[in-house]
Structure 1
Amino acid sequence: MSVQVPEKPKLRGVLHQFAATGALGAGLVLVSMAPTHRAAAAAAVFAVSLVVLFTVSATYHRVNWSLRGRTWMRRMDHASIFILIAGTYTPVALLGIAGATGDRLLLLIWAGAFAGVLQSLFWIQAPKVVTAALAVAVGWTLVPYFDEARQALTGNQMTLILAGGVAYTAGAIAYALKRPNLRPGVFGYHEMFHALTLVGAALHFTVVLRLVRAATV
């Protein structure tokens, strides 16, 4: 007996399909603007993580996969979320906070992201609440270093980082609660999650752009 795969809303994955192309172009520009090798490396890590997330998400959600293929792509989709979180923190830690504190933050965020990737790959049936909670926890790794970040970054940069974090968190909540379902069959809670991911990514891209352009080491 075959397993029936639920029909996807019409706009499922469309936002991330366009975002993948935009992220590639923006990422190339970002790296080309880097004035130092360190800044270029940090920008490249962020850009690659951004392209990976949107490309994997669009591929997963736009293609009608077999049940087995869908399972594997879901693993990749969830894992890419944690890769983006660590990729976003990389330029903040290397170019913004820097020093020993930046190194500790970088190590901690990648360790957390690695744990998230493992959960995504090997606990595929985890409840949405668990996946969302882990992503939010890893995403707010900056909290213990808030004072150091506030001293190292400008007020505008901190505002953008926090606003992006709020957007991502709101998206995770929508994903976990499966609401709001604004237009069932067209634009549901998952599309809201994707839209808020775009908002968070755009805000954080602005921060990274400023950090890269201001880099001196």
Structure 2
Amino acid sequence: MATSNVINRVVPKATPRKKAAWRGVSHQFAAVAAAAAGFLLTLDAPPGKAQIGCLIYTVSLTLMFTVSATYHVPTWGIKGRNIMRKLDHVGIYCIIAGTYTPLCLLALDEVTGRRLLLQVWTGAAAGIAHSFMSRGGAGSKAMSALLYVALGWIVLPYARQLKVVLGPGATYMVVAGGVIYSLGAVIYAAKWPDPSPEVFGYHELFHAAVIVASALHFGAVKSVVSGAKDALCAAEN
């Protein structure tokens, strides 16, 4: 007993890291903005596959930000935290596949679009399965970041065809968004830079990168929808 008391005095117990004040707050606002902007985008899309693609994209985007905010803002118990962490990862895989959905339906030929759509949603399902089987930890975090990046860049074999249909502006937004997502994943895995751990740390930088990348991809999807509308108007005239 005496030895134990001495050890407790000499070796201080590790204290858990305090949650940053801004943890999840930015995604609260992003969830509202995503729902509103996505609703208007879906209404503006031509009926049929364009509207279906936009609806899937909007639900995925809103789900990701909503689950992220719900996970990160409150303080959860151990069991609740583990469940919410897995759901948070589900949201990330859903938005990657959800963003591809309108692009596959509207910017690629039918055969290629269906092939890429199957690949990306299969990859998302595999990532979701990994999230639920994972026990967490640093290795799991790095693996998750690697899976996010790999799934996000699955479009590379189809880049030339997408570029022709999207045009330079939307192509730039897709690529820039992908780069920023990837940079955010690296920050998330490396836990660096960590500018202000108690207010705005590495995790908040990751969340900010997700918002910026999402905004760029939203612009690309909107551009594709506008092109689909123009094509429909031209066909009717």
TM-score by length of 2: 0.87
Q: Hey, what does 2:107 align to over in structure 1?
A: 96
Whose Rg is larger? Answer: 2
Q: Hey, what does 1:23 align to over in structure 2?
A: 34
Superposed CA deviations along residues 87-111 of structure 1, whole A, max 9, x for unmatched, are 0000110011132111111111111
Q: Hey, what does 2:43 align to over in structure 1?
A: 32
Superposed CA deviations along residues 43-67 of structure 1, whole A, max 9, x for unmatched, are 0000000000000000000011111
Cα distance, 1:5 vs. partner? 5.8
Q: Hey, what does 2:188 align to over in structure 1?
A: 175
Matched, 1:69 2:80: yes
Q: Hey, what does 1:44 align to over in structure 2?
A: 55
Q: Hey, what does 2:119 align to over in structure 1?
A: 108
Cα distance, 1:79 vs. partner? 1.2
Gaps of 5+ in 1: none
Cα distance, 1:122 vs. partner? 1.5
Following the alignment from structure 1 to structure 2, what is the Cα–Cα distance between the partners of residues 211 and 150?
A: 11
Superposed CA deviations along residues 152-179 of structure 1, whole A, max 9, x for unmatched, are 3211111110000001001000000001
Letter in 2 for 1:144: P
Letter in 2 for 1:145: Y
TM-score by length of 1: 0.95
Following the alignment from structure 1 to structure 2, what is the Cα–Cα distance between the partners of residues 70 and 167?
A: 27
Following the alignment from structure 1 to structure 2, what is the Cα–Cα distance between the partners of residues 43 and 210?
A: 12
Between stretches 74-83 and 151-160, larger displacement belongs to 151-160
Following the alignment from structure 1 to structure 2, what is the Cα–Cα distance between the partners of residues 174 and 137?
A: 16
Q: Say how many residue pairs are matched.
A: 214
Q: Which has the higher contact order (CA 8 A, sep 6+)?
A: 1
1:1-217 alignment to 2 at 5 Å? 6-125=17-136, 126-215=139-228, 216=231
Following the alignment from structure 2 to structure 1, what is the Cα–Cα distance between the partners of residues 31 and 104?
A: 25
Gaps of 5+ in 2: 1-14, 233-237
Between stretches 8-17 and 96-105, larger displacement belongs to 96-105
Partner SS, residue 154 of structure 1: helix
Question: Is contact 1:35-1:213 (8 Å) kept?
Answer: no
Following the alignment from structure 2 to structure 1, what is the Cα–Cα distance between the partners of residues 160 and 39?
A: 32
Partner SS, residue 127 of structure 1: helix
Following the alignment from structure 2 to structure 1, what is the Cα–Cα distance between the partners of residues 134 and 222?
A: 35
Between stretches 151-160 and 203-212, larger displacement belongs to 151-160
CA root-mean-square deviation: 1.3
Following the alignment from structure 2 to structure 1, what is the Cα–Cα distance between the partners of residues 207 and 29?
A: 12
